Amino acid sequence: MFLISNTEQALLSIDQLLRIKNYSPKTIKSYKGCLARFLKQFPDCLNYSNIECIKTFLLSMRESGLSPQTINVHLQAIQFYFREILHQPFRFTLPYAKRPKRLPVILSRSEIEQILNHISNTKHKTMIALAYGAGLRVSEVVELRSGNVDFPSGVLYIYQSKGKKDRITILPEILRDELQKAVCGKSPNDYLFASERGGRLSERSIQKVFSRALHSTQINKQATFHSLRHSFATHVLEQGTDIRFIQKLLGHANIRTTQIYTHVSTASISAIKSPL
């Protein structure tokens, strides 16, 4: 039987296997952190699974007020460790914590315009405008390379994004001039929006730009950078775009993920008159 000698070896083993299986850096970091927390609380489970310990661990997180999504990730990491690293059958089934069904926060066109008007830096303004205009995640914006922009075809190529998938999305015509300036003098593999040192911008830095701009406005919504992507999907849906095309633009594997925007579009609702 394969045995792990200490927590450090356990974390190294799960790191190596996740990399071999081509998991994303974010997932690897998350799984390692989850496993480290579990083994710190229950070191006796280093080599043998104990359902009561796992239940106690998950319950303690629930009582601490952690979100169902966070609890689920911990459970997934623990299952991966025992099944894939220790090759132990996970003979019990624990139901995943129910995630609350919340509608995404949508910004109106005028609200997005307000946010953009509060950004003075041209590069930052272009990045946030592009996130909305093309429906991009923050990770996709900072990972864009000059070669991803196809001006003749009017499209953006997004490579190896969430789920290791490639996709094509639209290039907003209004941003064409700024993007042409951004690619000028760069090789296809250079970052489209590089940091001052020439490397990759951090996701956090552009998220902070968005947050500061949002707080400078009178918009009273709990919006995040990802709200730009939600707003893109909702607005193109309201323009009459077929939902299956929107699914492709966003890179959703399941049409049900895209269909949530039919619940937040106000175009049809606003046309209905209240009986009051």
Q: What is the pLDDT of residues 220-233, one digit of tens each?
A: 999 999 999 999 99
Same domain, 70 and 156: no
Catalytic status, residue 162: yes
- Average pLDDT score over the chain: 88
pLDDT digits (tens, 9 = 90+) for 86-129: 888 776 666 666 666 778 899 999 999 999 999 999 999 999 99
Catalytic-labelled residue, pool 162, 167, 186, 191: 162
Report the amino acid identity of residue 140: E
What's the CA angle centered on 16, arms 44 and 45, to 5 degrees? Answer: 10
State the pLDDT at residue 81: 92
Catalytic-labelled residue, pool 37, 118, 145, 226: 226
State the pLDDT at residue 28: 93
Catalytic status, residue 62: no
Q: For residue 39, is it within any domain?
A: yes
For residue 62, name the pLDDT band (cuts at 50, 70, 90): confident
Catalytic-labelled residue, pool 252, 256, 263, 273: 252
- Burial label for 126, CB within 10 Å (0-12, 13-18, 19+), is buried
Domain end, chosen from 26, 50, 85, is at: 85
Q: Which of 45, 115, 33 is nearest to 86 (CA)?
A: 45
| Cβ neighbours, 10 Å, residue 172 | 17
Catalytic-labelled residue, pool 31, 81, 132, 261: 261
**Region class of 20: left (phi > 0), else alpha (psi between -120 and 50), else beta:** alpha
Q: For residue 91, is it within any domain?
A: no
Q: For residue 92, is it within any domain?
A: no
Mean pLDDT of 201-229: 94
Catalytic-labelled residue, pool 32, 124, 229, 235: 229
- Burial label for 170, CB within 10 Å (0-12, 13-18, 19+), is middle
CATH number of the domain residue 216 falls in: 1.10.443.10
Same domain, 149 and 65: no
State the pLDDT at residue 276: 59
Catalytic status, residue 221: no
- Please tell me the pTM assigned to this model: 0.72
State the pLDDT at residue 266: 65
3 state SS for 10-48: HHHHHHHHHHHCCCCHHHHHHHHHHHHHHHHHCHHHCCC
Same domain, 70 and 130: no
Same domain, 19 and 149: no
Helix boundaries (H) for the chain: 7-20, 25-41, 51-63, 68-80, 109-117, 122-134, 138-143, 176-183, 203-215, 227-238, 243-250, 255-258, 261-264
Catalytic status, residue 229: yes
State the pLDDT at residue 252: 87
Same domain, 146 and 209: yes
Report the amino acid identity of residue 73: V
Same domain, 47 and 123: no
Same domain, 139 and 223: yes
Q: For residue 30, is it within any domain?
A: yes
Q: For residue 1, is it within any domain?
A: no
pLDDT digits (tens, 9 = 90+) for 15-31: 999 999 988 888 999 99
Catalytic status, residue 273: no
State the pLDDT at residue 263: 73
CATH number of the domain residue 45 falls in: 1.10.150.130
State the pLDDT at residue 132: 95
Q: For residue 151, is it within any domain?
A: yes
Catalytic status, residue 98: no
pLDDT > 80? residue 50: yes
Catalytic-labelled residue, pool 74, 123, 124, 137: 137
- Which structural domain, as residue segments, surrounds residue 236? 109-268
Same domain, 133 and 264: yes
Q: For residue 263, is it within any domain?
A: yes
- Burial label for 36, CB within 10 Å (0-12, 13-18, 19+), is middle
pLDDT > 70? residue 158: yes
Q: For residue 101, is it within any domain?
A: no
Q: What is the number of structural domains in the chain? A: 2
pLDDT > 70? residue 79: yes
Distance of CA 199 to the CA centre of its chain: 21
Same domain, 189 and 125: yes
Same domain, 134 and 212: yes
Domain end, chosen from 18, 53, 85, is at: 85
Same domain, 25 and 128: no
Same domain, 155 and 26: no
pLDDT > 70? residue 194: yes
